[in-house]
Amino acid sequence: MRALAIARASTRRIIRDRTALFFLLVLPIIVIIIVGATVRGFSTFRVGVDSVGSGAAGQRIVTALDHSRGIDIAIYTDQKSLTTALARGEISVGVLLPAGLDAVESEAKPATVTIFAEQVNSAQQAAATAVSSVILGQGALVQSASFAAAHSSSSYNQALALATSLQGTTPHVGLRNVSADTSASTLPQGYSYSAPTELVLFVFLSALAGGAAIIETRRLGMYERMLAGPVRARTIIAGEALTYFLLALVQSALIIVVGAIAFGVSWGNPLAAAALVITWALVGAGAGLLSGTLFRTPEQASAIGPTAGIALAMLGGCMWPLSIVSTTMREIGHVTPQAWAVDAWTSLLSRHGTITTIAPQLGVLAAFAVVLLSVSSLRLYQRLR
């Protein structure tokens, strides 16, 4: 009961601090929006196109690129802005459609489309391959229309319409897709990626930075005053742990609700998600308590806490999927609790996981929570005695 009173007092003190509230509640949502809007390009090539002066033929290529699987297009109005965007990495390749491209059709003149890409940049080479294939597909239509116009009574435009309609039905070398697997080993892109990873990141980071409150309480001699009354050290520890646990739960609940309502994130099996949130909140509570006993000044907690939180989040796959890093880095990443939490969310969001499926991850996270809470409680107990 006294632990509850301590938790209530500590929570009230943190909630009164508007800066703390900003970091607890507002910042995670802003980061989810920014990261969610950014993490969309793992399976698409961004292709910049300058089609100025290329006429209707050029427009048809732009439409074909726009409708191609795995290609997102961005329109540029001059070559300089196109190449600058490529140099800055805003696009994967640049496509320059030559002026007077209509002449390919009207005068049956061959034409060449320029694809800006560096030979040594293999990512750009891959994108160039995709673009080149689309251009050949459009070229096939032009070839067919010109051939038919020359060898039948159709005009070029009639033949082009015919070729377009026949392209799908004419026997051709089909490219059949065979899926080797149906369930992804990474989180979905967009907000379904940023919401769970930022939940993992911020619950831990806020707890680490929040350790400053315990240091401040220690410095003000509030624990000594509490101990002068009929309050035992373990009650104080339980109260503080409860504070961090409750704050972590509130923060997680906010991210889950905002993620579901505003960004349409489906959090998977509710029972498994709840178990994961609670276990992760316990890990956060342990980290917060440890930060409060490990650092000497609030400045140290505010400086080293976020740094450690960000570093662990990077290692654990909160900033980028661990599937894109080397095997060694993936293994090192799993030394952090963050990697196990992200694995569990991946199972829930991408593979319809249940509480049984994520039991191994929950087990590891529970072990982290036990170790962190035990070590930090012991340290706080020693300082209180």
Tell the smallest beta-carbon distance from residue 231 to other proteins (Å): 28
Sign (positive or negative) of CA dihedral 183, 189, 195, 201? positive
Number of residues that bind other proteins (CB under 8 A): 114
Any idea what the Cα angle at residue 14 is, between residues 9 and 17, rounded to 5°? 130
Tell the smallest beta-carbon distance from residue 289 to other proteins (Å): 20
Tell the smallest beta-carbon distance from residue 242 to other proteins (Å): 26
59-78 residues in contact with other proteins (CB under 8 A) are 61, 69-70, 74
Q: Does 88 bind other proteins (CB under 8 A)?
A: yes
Write out the two tokens for 289: 């308590």
DSSP string, 125-166: HHHHHHHHHHHHHHHHHHHHHHHHHHHSS--HHHHHHHHHHH
Q: Within a 10 A sphere around the Cβ of 113, how many other Cβ atoms? A: 19
According to CB under 8 A, which one of 170, 229, 230, 385 is a site residue for other proteins? 170
Q: Which stretch binds other proteins (CB under 8 A): 47-55, 87-95, 242-250, 266-274?
A: 87-95
Specify the residue, 159 or 272, whose C-beta has the smaller distance to other proteins: 159
The CA R_g of the chain, rounded to the nearest whole Å, is 29
Specify the residue, 107 or 261, whose C-beta has the smaller distance to other proteins: 107
Write out the two tokens for 132: 């080149």
According to CB under 8 A, which one of 30, 257, 367, 378 is a site residue for other proteins? 30
Closest CA to 188 of 316, 313, 42, 330: 42
According to CB under 8 A, which one of 56, 67, 89, 356 is a site residue for other proteins? 89
Q: Does 53 bind other proteins (CB under 8 A)?
A: no
Write out the two tokens for 137: 């597909």
Residue 63, phi-psi category: left (phi > 0), alpha (psi -120 to 50), beta (remainder): alpha
316-375 residues in contact with other proteins (CB under 8 A) are 319-320, 323-326, 329
Specify the residue, 6 or 313, whose C-beta has the smaller distance to other proteins: 313
Closest CA to 223 of 304, 286, 293: 293
Specify the residue, 66 or 90, whose C-beta has the smaller distance to other proteins: 90
279-318 residues in contact with other proteins (CB under 8 A) are 297, 299-300, 302-304, 307, 310-311, 314-315
According to CB under 8 A, which one of 35, 365, 373, 380 is a site residue for other proteins? 35
Tell the smallest beta-carbon distance from residue 335 to other proteins (Å): 13
Q: For residue 119, which amino acid is it?
A: Q
Give the strand order in the sheet containing 71-76: 71-76, 45-50, 93-96
According to CB under 8 A, which one of 5, 12, 22, 67 is a site residue for other proteins? 22
Tell the smallest beta-carbon distance from residue 11 to other proteins (Å): 19
CA distance 96 to 131: 11
| CB of 349 closer than 8 Å to CB of 187 | yes
172-231 residues in contact with other proteins (CB under 8 A) are 172-186
Specify the residue, 123 or 253, whose C-beta has the smaller distance to other proteins: 123
CA distance 248 to 256: 12
Tell the smallest beta-carbon distance from residue 121 to other proteins (Å): 5
Tell the smallest beta-carbon distance from residue 53 to other proteins (Å): 16
104-163 residues in contact with other proteins (CB under 8 A) are 104, 108-123, 125-126, 128-149, 151-154, 158-159, 162-163
Strand partners of residue 48: 74, 94
